[in-house]
Structure formats: C-alpha cells, structure tokens
Amino acid sequence: MAGAGRDARAASKARPTWRARGRLTAVLAVLTAGAMMFHGAVPNSAGRVGSLVESFLPWLGLPVVALLAVALLRRSAVALAALLLPTAVWTYLFGGLLLPGGEPGPDDLLVVQHNVSDENPDPAGTARALAAAAPDLIALQELVPPALAVYEEVLASAYPYHEVRGTVGLWSRHPLTDAGPLDIKPQGIAGPWSRGLRAVVRTPRGEIAAYVAHLPSVRVRATGLASASRDESAVLLGRAVARERTERVVLLGDLNGTADDRGLAPLTSRLDTAERGFAFSFPAAFPVARIDQVMTRSATVRHLRTLPATGSDHLPVAGRVTLR
C-alpha cells in the first residue's frame, strides 16, 4: 500500500499542474499580440518582411483562434488568460470594421472602384453590374482597347461624364472639370505607362478632387516581397495629393497594397481609410486582402463592401462617402 501511495504521488508530480499547462501556448499568444500591435517594428530592410506581415495583418486573428482551441483542449487557465491579450489587440485594430455602416445620409456619395482586368472576357456584363449598384462615381483600371469602347457605350446613359487617361478612367453622374493625367510612373519602368488620373467632380455639395490610380504590382518571392516600384509610385501619388488645393479629395484605385502596409504610408498618412468593412477584394476566387482602396480627405468613408464577382480577378469595391 505504501508503494502504491508513493507511485501515485510521483505520477501526480510528473503531471503538469493547471498552472504549468499551456505555457508555450501563452507565450505564442503574447508573441502574436506583439506582432499585431507592434507590426511597424518588423524590419522592412530585407525582403520587405514588414510590408508582407502588414499585408495579411487581420489574418493574425486565425492563430489566436487556433491557440484558443489548444488552450481549451489542455484546460489551461494560463493560456486562456494570455489569449485575452491578442484578442483585445485584434479587436482594437479591426473590431470596428465589423460594425454595421449605419444608414446612408441624403448627401452621401456612393463610389465604386474596380480593376476590370485587361483579360476580362465580358466587359459589357462588368459595366452593367457596376452600374446596377447605382454609384455616383465609377473608377476603373486596366482599360484596354477594344474593351474601353464597350465600357464607354454601356455606361454612357447613366454616366454622361467620363475621363480616361492611359489605362485608368472615371465615370460620373456629376460634371467633371480640370481632368488630366497624374505622373506616378516609377523610374525603373520603361516605355509608355499611364496609370493616374485627376479630375474635379462638381457635386451638389461642392467640388471634390477625384484621383484614380493603379500602382505597380507587387510579387511575393522566396526573398520576400518585391514592392519597390509600388512604393515609389505611392510616394509620387502622395506628393500629388499633398499639393492638391481642392479641400475634399477622394482617391479610388488598385493600390496593390493594404491600408496597413507601410508601403502606402505616403497616402495613408494624408488620407483617411474606411471606418467599416473589410471588403477583401483580391483575388476574386478567394479574397484575402483589400488592395482596391477608397481613401478620402475632408470626407469620411463610412462603409466599404465588395460587389459580386465580374470577369476580373479583382472584386469591385463600393464605398459610401460622407462629405464634411
């Protein structure tokens, strides 16, 4: 009997207590919280790892869910307590995007941003789908002949004002003036390249400077994120916005980056992003990031949502903008 008692006590000591169980899970929870809260501290010098992390920042909530399952399975109070930290951080950073956008105001503008793809097999159907949302402004990228003529024809009746520069265009229910190209071409790109447009929209609530842009693509490689051209183009676009004399600005574009990506800091430091809605837009088959953006100055993007898929590899993004 004494031997059995000693064996039981030895087994009890060998088993981790509720205090000891889940320490690794707790450490991982704290590290995940740190990665979310202090993502700006992740270095960008080698392979732009910082930008890569920031491109998928909201998805760091998934490891938190996985760690929660482990903590519950192991019945670890320590891990469960530690998981409160990344949960709070994620809620602080992204919880507001989950809230409803509220009722639209009578003076709100509805805008649509869409990279229609230069390989879109159905430009007419895409144009009809965008017009069906009844926006005030439609910004398009990757406009190429002969598809451009199709967009112009289908949208003409509902959007009598439009401007096209290079491969980007803007369609409007309201008059457009002072339209012209934006020079956002990086030095490393040779040959013709025109992906920026600026125009003034004369709305019933006053003038708005509308910018349409398509920044260079980024690539995820074994060495990291290749985004130098995109970042350079963002700097040029940010300088144009800084020089803009019209008080209210709306930027619509495929920026090939998320609002959290520091590569877009020249824009996000000068413009406001959406208050509500994740609106992941790319790739259309399984959207994991919103690289199609609606940003404003002296106006508020109350809510962003995606529209149904078209013939593009991007989803259209619709934004409700409240003018101040």
Cα(first)–Cα(last) distance of the chain, in Å? 82
Q: To the nearest whole percent, how much of the chain has pLDDT over 90?
A: 83
Decide if pLDDT at 315 tops 60: yes
Q: 137-156, pLDDT tens digit by residue?
A: 999 999 999 999 999 999 99
- Find, among 93, 28, 87, the residue nearest to 57 by Cα: 93
Distance CA 192, CA 177 (A): 25
CATH number of 109-323: 3.60.10.10
Any alpha helices (H) in 95-138, and if so which ranges? 123-132
What per-residue confidence (pLDDT) applies to 5?
A: 54
Asked if 163 contacts 174 with a C-beta cutoff of 8 angstroms, the reply is: no
Decide if pLDDT at 70 tops 60: yes
Burial status of residue 244 (CB atoms within 10 A of its CB: 0-12, 13-18, 19 or more): middle
Q: Is 132 helix (H, G, I), strand (E, B) or coil?
A: helix
Q: 171-194, pLDDT tens digit by residue?
A: 999 999 999 999 999 998 988 999
Decide if pLDDT at 19 tops 70: no
Q: Which amino acid type is present at position 85? A: L
Angle between helix 77-94 and 23-37 (nearest 10): 10
- pLDDT tier at 67, thresholds 50, 70, 90: very high
Distance CA 271, CA 250 (A): 9
Q: Is 199 helix (H, G, I), strand (E, B) or coil?
A: strand
What per-residue confidence (pLDDT) applies to 166?
A: 97
Output the pTM of the full model: 0.90
- pLDDT tier at 65, thresholds 50, 70, 90: very high
Asked if 155 contacts 131 with a C-beta cutoff of 8 angstroms, the reply is: yes
- Find, among 128, 131, 140, 184, the residue nearest to 164 by Cα: 140
- Find, among 234, 218, 256, 137, the residue nearest to 182 by Cα: 234
What per-residue confidence (pLDDT) applies to 3?
A: 54
- pLDDT tier at 7, thresholds 50, 70, 90: low
Asked if 287 contacts 115 with a C-beta cutoff of 8 angstroms, the reply is: no
